[in-house]
Structure 1
Protein backbone atom coordinates (compact mmCIF):
# COMPACT_ATOMS: atom_id res chain seq x y z
CA UNK A 1 0.00 0.00 0.00
CA UNK A 2 1.46 3.36 -1.03
CA UNK A 3 1.17 6.32 1.46
CA UNK A 4 1.15 9.82 0.12
CA UNK A 5 1.78 12.77 2.46
CA UNK A 6 -0.29 15.64 1.30
CA UNK A 7 0.78 18.08 4.15
CA UNK A 8 3.03 21.09 3.29
CA UNK A 9 6.22 19.53 4.70
CA UNK A 10 8.48 22.07 3.09
CA UNK A 11 6.84 24.99 4.85
CA UNK A 12 7.00 23.08 8.15
CA UNK A 13 10.72 22.41 7.66
CA UNK A 14 11.32 26.06 6.80
CA UNK A 15 9.41 27.17 9.87
CA UNK A 16 11.33 24.76 12.10
CA UNK A 17 14.69 25.99 10.76
CA UNK A 18 13.62 29.59 11.25
CA UNK A 19 12.71 28.87 14.86
CA UNK A 20 16.10 27.17 15.42
CA UNK A 21 17.87 30.15 13.85
CA UNK A 22 16.12 32.67 16.10
CA UNK A 23 16.75 30.45 19.13
CA UNK A 24 20.46 30.24 18.34
CA UNK A 25 20.54 33.98 17.64
CA UNK A 26 18.97 34.69 21.04
CA UNK A 27 21.39 32.37 22.81
CA UNK A 28 24.33 34.01 21.01
CA UNK A 29 23.10 37.46 21.99
CA UNK A 30 22.66 36.34 25.58
CA UNK A 31 26.13 34.79 25.64
CA UNK A 32 27.63 37.93 24.10
CA UNK A 33 25.89 40.07 26.72
CA UNK A 34 27.25 37.89 29.51
CA UNK A 35 30.78 38.10 28.08
CA UNK A 36 30.55 41.90 27.64
CA UNK A 37 29.24 42.26 31.19
CA UNK A 38 32.10 40.14 32.55
CA UNK A 39 34.69 42.18 30.59
CA UNK A 40 33.09 45.44 31.77
CA UNK A 41 33.20 44.33 35.40
CA UNK A 42 36.83 43.22 35.01
CA UNK A 43 37.85 46.57 33.53
CA UNK A 44 35.98 48.43 36.25
CA UNK A 45 37.90 46.46 38.89
CA UNK A 46 41.21 47.25 37.16
CA UNK A 47 40.31 50.96 36.90
CA UNK A 48 39.33 51.11 40.58
CA UNK A 49 42.57 49.37 41.55
CA UNK A 50 44.65 51.77 39.44
CA UNK A 51 42.84 54.79 40.88
CA UNK A 52 43.61 53.51 44.36
CA UNK A 53 47.29 53.17 43.41
CA UNK A 54 47.28 56.69 41.97
CA UNK A 55 45.79 58.07 45.17
CA UNK A 56 48.45 56.24 47.21
CA UNK A 57 51.23 57.64 44.99
CA UNK A 58 49.81 61.16 45.36
CA UNK A 59 49.79 60.87 49.14
CA UNK A 60 53.36 59.54 49.20
CA UNK A 61 54.46 62.24 46.75
CA UNK A 62 53.01 64.94 49.00
CA UNK A 63 54.90 63.47 51.97
CA UNK A 64 58.12 63.38 49.93
CA UNK A 65 57.63 67.02 48.88
CA UNK A 66 57.40 68.03 52.53
CA UNK A 67 60.55 66.05 53.35
CA UNK A 68 62.40 67.57 50.37
CA UNK A 69 61.49 71.07 51.56
CA UNK A 70 62.78 70.21 55.02
CA UNK A 71 66.03 68.85 53.55
CA UNK A 72 66.43 71.96 51.36
CA UNK A 73 65.98 74.14 54.45
CA UNK A 74 68.59 72.11 56.33
CA UNK A 75 71.03 72.38 53.41
CA UNK A 76 70.54 76.14 53.32
CA UNK A 77 71.22 76.38 57.06
CA UNK A 78 74.31 74.16 56.71
CA UNK A 79 75.63 76.31 53.84
CA UNK A 80 75.04 79.46 55.88
CA UNK A 81 76.84 78.00 58.89
CA UNK A 82 79.76 76.89 56.71
CA UNK A 83 79.99 80.36 55.17
CA UNK A 84 80.06 81.92 58.64
CA UNK A 85 82.67 79.42 59.78
CA UNK A 86 84.81 80.15 56.71
CA UNK A 87 84.50 83.91 57.28
CA UNK A 88 85.55 83.56 60.91
CA UNK A 89 88.48 81.31 60.00
CA UNK A 90 89.58 83.73 57.28
CA UNK A 91 89.43 86.67 59.66
CA UNK A 92 91.42 84.80 62.28
CA UNK A 93 93.96 83.56 59.75
CA UNK A 94 94.35 86.93 58.01
CA UNK A 95 94.52 89.03 61.16
CA UNK A 96 98.31 89.25 61.01
CA UNK A 97 98.59 89.34 57.23
CA UNK A 98 99.56 93.05 56.92
CA UNK A 99 102.48 92.50 59.31
CA UNK A 100 103.68 89.40 57.42
CA UNK A 101 103.30 91.17 54.10
CA UNK A 102 105.32 94.21 55.19
CA UNK A 103 108.04 92.01 56.68
CA UNK A 104 108.24 90.01 53.46
CA UNK A 105 108.47 93.13 51.31
CA UNK A 106 111.25 94.57 53.46
CA UNK A 107 113.26 91.34 53.32
CA UNK A 108 112.81 90.71 49.58
CA UNK A 109 113.02 94.30 48.30
CA UNK A 110 116.09 94.65 46.00
CA UNK A 111 118.62 97.41 46.48
CA UNK A 112 117.83 100.57 44.59
CA UNK A 113 114.07 100.25 45.03
CA UNK A 114 112.09 102.72 47.12
CA UNK A 115 108.41 102.13 47.83
CA UNK A 116 106.22 105.20 48.22
CA UNK A 117 102.83 103.53 48.85
CA UNK A 118 101.07 100.21 49.05
CA UNK A 119 97.32 99.95 48.61
CA UNK A 120 94.87 97.06 48.48
CA UNK A 121 92.04 97.08 45.93
CA UNK A 122 89.85 94.03 46.64
CA UNK A 123 92.28 91.11 46.13
CA UNK A 124 94.97 93.15 44.39
CA UNK A 125 97.82 95.08 45.94
CA UNK A 126 99.23 98.12 44.14
CA UNK A 127 102.86 98.93 44.86
CA UNK A 128 104.00 102.41 43.87
CA UNK A 129 107.65 103.29 44.06
CA UNK A 130 110.85 104.62 42.53
CA UNK A 131 113.70 102.57 41.12
CA UNK A 132 117.21 103.64 40.22
CA UNK A 133 116.81 101.80 36.89
CA UNK A 134 114.44 99.60 34.97
CA UNK A 135 116.66 96.60 35.77
CA UNK A 136 115.84 97.12 39.45
CA UNK A 137 112.14 96.91 38.63
CA UNK A 138 112.78 93.62 36.80
CA UNK A 139 114.60 92.32 39.87
CA UNK A 140 111.61 93.27 42.03
CA UNK A 141 109.20 91.43 39.71
CA UNK A 142 111.38 88.30 39.79
CA UNK A 143 111.62 88.51 43.57
CA UNK A 144 107.84 88.83 43.94
CA UNK A 145 107.29 85.90 41.56
CA UNK A 146 109.75 83.44 43.13
CA UNK A 147 110.39 84.39 46.75
CA UNK A 148 107.21 85.82 48.26
CA UNK A 149 104.35 83.79 49.72
CA UNK A 150 101.82 86.54 50.27
CA UNK A 151 101.93 88.13 46.81
CA UNK A 152 101.48 86.11 43.62
CA UNK A 153 101.21 86.87 39.89
CA UNK A 154 102.94 90.27 39.93
CA UNK A 155 102.57 92.39 36.80
CA UNK A 156 103.97 95.73 35.79
CA UNK A 157 101.21 98.29 35.35
CA UNK A 158 103.28 101.35 34.53
CA UNK A 159 106.88 102.51 34.43
CA UNK A 160 107.87 106.09 33.62
CA UNK A 161 111.31 107.63 33.41
CA UNK A 162 111.79 110.76 35.50
CA UNK A 163 114.46 112.99 37.03
CA UNK A 164 115.13 112.92 40.75
CA UNK A 165 117.04 115.63 42.58
CA UNK A 166 119.96 114.20 44.50
CA UNK A 167 121.20 117.64 45.55
CA UNK A 168 120.65 121.21 44.49
CA UNK A 169 123.13 120.82 41.60
CA UNK A 170 122.75 117.13 40.74
CA UNK A 171 119.83 115.24 39.24
CA UNK A 172 119.60 111.52 38.51
CA UNK A 173 117.45 109.55 36.10
CA UNK A 174 115.02 107.23 37.90
CA UNK A 175 111.98 105.14 37.01
CA UNK A 176 108.61 105.59 38.66
CA UNK A 177 106.69 102.31 38.60
CA UNK A 178 103.39 100.75 39.61
CA UNK A 179 103.16 97.00 40.16
CA UNK A 180 99.98 95.02 40.76
CA UNK A 181 100.07 91.65 42.54
CA UNK A 182 97.40 89.25 43.76
CA UNK A 183 97.05 88.91 47.52
CA UNK A 184 97.20 85.36 48.84
CA UNK A 185 97.86 83.50 52.06
CA UNK A 186 100.22 80.49 52.26
CA UNK A 187 98.51 77.14 52.63
CA UNK A 188 97.95 75.92 56.16
CA UNK A 189 98.24 72.20 57.03
CA UNK A 190 94.43 71.96 57.03
CA UNK A 191 94.31 73.26 53.42
CA UNK A 192 97.21 71.43 51.76
CA UNK A 193 95.07 70.18 48.90
CA UNK A 194 93.40 73.55 48.17
CA UNK A 195 94.48 76.72 46.46
CA UNK A 196 95.81 79.72 48.32
CA UNK A 197 93.08 81.42 50.33
CA UNK A 198 92.57 85.04 49.46
CA UNK A 199 92.68 87.62 52.20
CA UNK A 200 89.62 89.64 53.14
CA UNK A 201 91.17 92.12 55.55
CA UNK A 202 91.99 95.42 53.76
CA UNK A 203 95.47 96.83 54.11
CA UNK A 204 95.65 100.51 54.84
CA UNK A 205 97.56 102.66 52.38
CA UNK A 206 101.14 103.10 53.52
CA UNK A 207 103.23 106.09 52.58
CA UNK A 208 106.65 104.97 53.69
CA UNK A 209 110.08 105.04 52.23
CA UNK A 210 111.89 101.74 52.64
Structure 2
Protein backbone atom coordinates (compact mmCIF):
# COMPACT_ATOMS: atom_id res chain seq x y z
CA UNK A 1 0.00 0.00 0.00
CA UNK A 2 1.25 3.38 -0.76
CA UNK A 3 1.93 5.72 2.04
CA UNK A 4 0.02 8.95 1.77
CA UNK A 5 0.76 11.54 4.33
CA UNK A 6 -2.33 13.77 4.83
CA UNK A 7 -0.94 15.39 7.95
CA UNK A 8 0.92 18.36 6.37
CA UNK A 9 -2.16 19.24 4.31
CA UNK A 10 -4.30 19.18 7.44
CA UNK A 11 -1.75 21.21 9.33
CA UNK A 12 -1.65 23.76 6.54
CA UNK A 13 -5.45 23.87 6.46
CA UNK A 14 -5.59 24.29 10.22
CA UNK A 15 -2.93 26.98 10.15
CA UNK A 16 -4.87 28.82 7.44
CA UNK A 17 -8.16 28.58 9.41
CA UNK A 18 -6.34 29.67 12.57
CA UNK A 19 -4.96 32.66 10.71
CA UNK A 20 -8.43 33.55 9.31
CA UNK A 21 -9.91 33.17 12.79
CA UNK A 22 -7.28 35.47 14.27
CA UNK A 23 -7.91 38.00 11.50
CA UNK A 24 -11.65 37.88 12.15
CA UNK A 25 -11.06 38.31 15.90
CA UNK A 26 -8.78 41.28 15.25
CA UNK A 27 -11.37 42.80 12.89
CA UNK A 28 -14.17 42.19 15.43
CA UNK A 29 -12.02 43.67 18.22
CA UNK A 30 -11.24 46.69 16.02
CA UNK A 31 -14.95 47.11 15.15
CA UNK A 32 -15.95 46.76 18.84
CA UNK A 33 -13.25 49.21 19.95
CA UNK A 34 -14.35 51.61 17.19
CA UNK A 35 -18.00 51.23 18.23
CA UNK A 36 -17.16 51.72 21.91
CA UNK A 37 -15.01 54.72 21.07
CA UNK A 38 -17.80 56.20 18.93
CA UNK A 39 -20.37 55.50 21.66
CA UNK A 40 -18.14 57.09 24.34
CA UNK A 41 -17.57 60.13 22.13
CA UNK A 42 -21.32 60.41 21.46
CA UNK A 43 -22.13 60.17 25.17
CA UNK A 44 -19.41 62.70 26.02
CA UNK A 45 -20.81 65.07 23.38
CA UNK A 46 -24.34 64.63 24.78
CA UNK A 47 -23.02 65.27 28.30
CA UNK A 48 -21.25 68.43 27.14
CA UNK A 49 -24.38 69.58 25.29
CA UNK A 50 -26.50 68.94 28.40
CA UNK A 51 -23.98 70.77 30.59
CA UNK A 52 -24.08 73.76 28.24
CA UNK A 53 -27.93 73.68 28.32
CA UNK A 54 -27.81 73.42 32.12
CA UNK A 55 -25.44 76.39 32.23
CA UNK A 56 -27.80 78.44 30.04
CA UNK A 57 -30.71 77.46 32.28
CA UNK A 58 -28.71 78.31 35.40
CA UNK A 59 -27.85 81.78 34.11
CA UNK A 60 -31.48 82.38 33.08
CA UNK A 61 -32.70 81.14 36.47
CA UNK A 62 -30.30 83.54 38.19
CA UNK A 63 -31.61 86.39 36.07
CA UNK A 64 -35.19 85.39 36.87
CA UNK A 65 -34.34 85.13 40.58
CA UNK A 66 -33.00 88.67 40.46
CA UNK A 67 -36.16 89.81 38.68
CA UNK A 68 -38.33 87.97 41.23
CA UNK A 69 -36.45 89.68 44.08
CA UNK A 70 -36.92 93.04 42.36
CA UNK A 71 -40.64 92.31 41.88
CA UNK A 72 -41.00 91.32 45.54
CA UNK A 73 -39.19 94.50 46.58
CA UNK A 74 -41.42 96.57 44.30
CA UNK A 75 -44.53 94.86 45.70
CA UNK A 76 -43.30 95.55 49.22
CA UNK A 77 -42.63 99.20 48.39
CA UNK A 78 -46.01 99.42 46.66
CA UNK A 79 -47.76 98.01 49.72
CA UNK A 80 -45.86 100.42 51.96
CA UNK A 81 -46.92 103.33 49.74
CA UNK A 82 -50.53 102.11 49.74
CA UNK A 83 -50.44 101.84 53.54
CA UNK A 84 -48.99 105.34 53.81
CA UNK A 85 -51.61 106.70 51.44
CA UNK A 86 -54.35 104.99 53.45
CA UNK A 87 -53.02 106.48 56.70
CA UNK A 88 -52.80 109.92 55.13
CA UNK A 89 -56.32 109.62 53.75
CA UNK A 90 -57.61 108.51 57.13
CA UNK A 91 -55.84 111.40 58.83
CA UNK A 92 -57.20 113.84 56.27
CA UNK A 93 -60.68 112.36 56.60
CA UNK A 94 -60.61 112.25 60.41
CA UNK A 95 -59.08 115.70 60.88
CA UNK A 96 -62.39 117.56 61.05
CA UNK A 97 -63.86 114.87 63.32
CA UNK A 98 -61.95 116.07 66.39
CA UNK A 99 -63.51 119.50 65.98
CA UNK A 100 -66.90 117.86 65.49
CA UNK A 101 -66.49 115.77 68.65
CA UNK A 102 -65.55 118.78 70.77
CA UNK A 103 -68.33 120.89 69.28
CA UNK A 104 -70.88 118.17 69.98
CA UNK A 105 -69.50 117.74 73.51
CA UNK A 106 -69.91 121.48 74.18
CA UNK A 107 -73.48 121.39 72.85
CA UNK A 108 -74.34 118.36 75.02
CA UNK A 109 -72.93 119.94 78.20
CA UNK A 110 -75.74 121.61 80.20
CA UNK A 111 -75.27 124.73 82.31
CA UNK A 112 -74.01 123.99 85.78
CA UNK A 113 -71.71 121.14 84.64
CA UNK A 114 -67.95 121.49 84.25
CA UNK A 115 -65.55 118.98 82.75
CA UNK A 116 -62.19 118.53 84.47
CA UNK A 117 -60.61 115.91 82.19
CA UNK A 118 -61.25 114.19 78.89
CA UNK A 119 -59.30 111.10 77.87
CA UNK A 120 -59.74 109.03 74.74
CA UNK A 121 -58.62 105.42 74.33
CA UNK A 122 -59.66 103.97 71.02
CA UNK A 123 -63.38 104.65 70.61
CA UNK A 124 -63.98 105.19 74.35
CA UNK A 125 -64.03 108.67 75.81
CA UNK A 126 -63.59 108.97 79.59
CA UNK A 127 -64.99 112.17 81.08
CA UNK A 128 -64.73 113.47 84.63
CA UNK A 129 -66.09 116.69 86.05
CA UNK A 130 -68.32 118.40 88.56
CA UNK A 131 -72.05 119.14 88.31
CA UNK A 132 -74.28 121.37 90.47
CA UNK A 133 -76.65 118.43 90.90
CA UNK A 134 -77.21 114.85 89.84
CA UNK A 135 -79.93 116.08 87.47
CA UNK A 136 -77.27 117.92 85.47
CA UNK A 137 -75.29 114.67 85.10
CA UNK A 138 -78.45 112.85 83.95
CA UNK A 139 -79.21 115.63 81.49
CA UNK A 140 -75.61 115.46 80.19
CA UNK A 141 -75.89 111.70 79.68
CA UNK A 142 -79.22 112.08 77.82
CA UNK A 143 -77.74 114.77 75.59
CA UNK A 144 -74.74 112.54 74.79
CA UNK A 145 -77.01 109.61 73.98
CA UNK A 146 -79.09 111.78 71.62
CA UNK A 147 -75.98 113.14 69.94
CA UNK A 148 -75.05 112.03 66.43
CA UNK A 149 -71.42 111.55 67.43
CA UNK A 150 -71.65 109.78 70.80
CA UNK A 151 -73.48 106.70 72.02
CA UNK A 152 -73.86 104.45 75.06
CA UNK A 153 -72.90 106.83 77.88
CA UNK A 154 -72.15 104.85 81.05
CA UNK A 155 -71.79 106.43 84.46
CA UNK A 156 -68.74 105.07 86.28
CA UNK A 157 -69.28 106.89 89.56
CA UNK A 158 -70.80 109.90 91.30
CA UNK A 159 -69.52 111.31 94.59
CA UNK A 160 -70.60 114.31 96.62
CA UNK A 161 -68.31 117.30 96.21
CA UNK A 162 -69.19 119.82 98.98
CA UNK A 163 -66.46 122.30 98.03
CA UNK A 164 -68.51 123.31 94.92
CA UNK A 165 -71.89 123.49 96.71
CA UNK A 166 -74.32 121.49 98.82
CA UNK A 167 -75.73 119.42 95.99
CA UNK A 168 -72.56 119.39 93.85
CA UNK A 169 -71.40 116.01 92.58
CA UNK A 170 -68.12 114.86 91.05
CA UNK A 171 -68.77 112.33 88.30
CA UNK A 172 -66.92 110.02 85.96
CA UNK A 173 -68.49 108.53 82.87
CA UNK A 174 -67.49 106.83 79.64
CA UNK A 175 -69.09 107.21 76.25
CA UNK A 176 -68.40 105.60 72.88
CA UNK A 177 -67.24 107.88 70.09
CA UNK A 178 -68.83 107.07 66.72
CA UNK A 179 -69.25 108.68 63.38
CA UNK A 180 -72.53 110.22 62.40
CA UNK A 181 -75.31 107.77 63.28
CA UNK A 182 -76.76 105.91 60.29
CA UNK A 183 -80.42 106.08 61.42
CA UNK A 184 -80.50 109.87 61.29
CA UNK A 185 -78.95 109.96 57.84
CA UNK A 186 -81.44 107.45 56.49
CA UNK A 187 -84.38 109.34 58.05
CA UNK A 188 -83.15 112.56 56.47
CA UNK A 189 -82.98 110.86 53.06
CA UNK A 190 -86.54 109.51 53.43
CA UNK A 191 -87.95 112.98 54.24
Q: TM-score if structure 1 supplies the norm length?
A: 0.56
Distance 1:184 1:26 in 2: 103
Structure 2 gap ranges (5+): 181-191
Q: How many residue pairs are counted as aligned between the two chains? A: 176
Q: What's 1:101 paired with?
A: 101
Q: What's 1:177 paired with?
A: 172
Instruction: Using the TM superposition, give the Cα deviation of residue 96 of structure 1 relative to its aligned residue in structure 2, in angstroms.
Output: 1.4
Say if 1:127 and 1:179, in contact at 8 Å, map to a contact too.
yes
Q: Which has the larger radius of gyration?
A: 2
Between 22-31 and 33-42, the greater mean CA deviation after superposition: 22-31
Distance 1:129 1:14 in 2: 134
Q: Does residue 39 of the first structure (1) align with residue 6 of the second (2)?
A: no
CA 6–24 in structure 1, closer or farther in 2 if over 3 Å, else same = closer
Q: What's 1:49 paired with?
A: 49
Q: Could you say which structure has the greater relative contact order, defined with CA pairs below 8 angstroms and 6 or more residues apart?
A: 1
Distance 2:179 2:36 in 1: 83
Q: What's 1:198 paired with?
A: none
Instruction: Using the TM superposition, give the Cα deviation of residue 52 of structure 1 relative to its aligned residue in structure 2, in angstroms.
Output: 2.3
Instruction: Using the TM superposition, give the Cα deviation of residue 185 of structure 1 relative to its aligned residue in structure 2, in angstroms.
Output: 5.0
Say if 1:165 and 1:171, in contact at 8 Å, map to a contact too.
yes
CA 12–77 in structure 1, closer or farther in 2 if over 3 Å, else same = same
Say if 1:129 and 1:178, in contact at 8 Å, map to a contact too.
no
Q: What's 2:127 paired with?
A: 127
Deviation sequence 1:140-197 (CA, Å, 0-9, x none): 7x939xx655x68x696x83452243986x457x67334264x5656xxxxxxxxxxx
Q: What's 1:159 paired with?
A: 156
CA 54–171 in structure 1, closer or farther in 2 if over 3 Å, else same = same
Deviation sequence 1:19-38 (CA, Å, 0-9, x none): 34322322221111111122
Q: Give the superposed CA RMSD.
A: 4.6
Question: The residue matched to 1:4 in structure 2 has which SS?
Answer: coil
Distance 1:37 1:14 in 2: 34
Higher relative helix content:
2
Distance 2:9 2:124 in 1: 122
